[in-house]
Amino acid sequence: MEKQDILKTVNAVFIDTLDNEDIVLSYDTTANDVEDWDSLNHIQLVVAIEKQFKIRFTSHEIQSWKNVGEMIDCIQTKV
């Protein structure tokens, strides 16, 4: 799967999970850039992304990403 496609799908998951139509993610986006992306909602996002791509992250991966790009790299290794 192309990174660009993964980004699009992840973006849609963010919009649905955080209930915010205005979210536009890029590879450089960090949690600080997105309203409501706190540690609690991070968990909900992780679970929603896992479900969307039918993958599982390891405990280490869940807390390792510095930005959306790293998250997408991680997803790409699994799909």
Does residue number 32 form part of the binding site for another protein (CB under 8 A)? Answer: no
Q: What are the phi and psi torsion angles at 42 (to 5°)?
A: -55, -40
CA dihedral 5, 60, 50, 48 (to 10 degrees): -100
Q: How far is the CB of 13 from another protein (least distance, A)?
A: 10
Q: What CA–CA distance (Å, rounded) separates 56 from 22?
A: 27
Binding mask 44-73 for another protein (x = CB under 8 A): x-xxx-------xxxx--xx----------
Interface with another protein by CB under 8 A: which residues?
Answer: 16-17, 19, 39-40, 43-44, 46-48, 56-59, 62-63
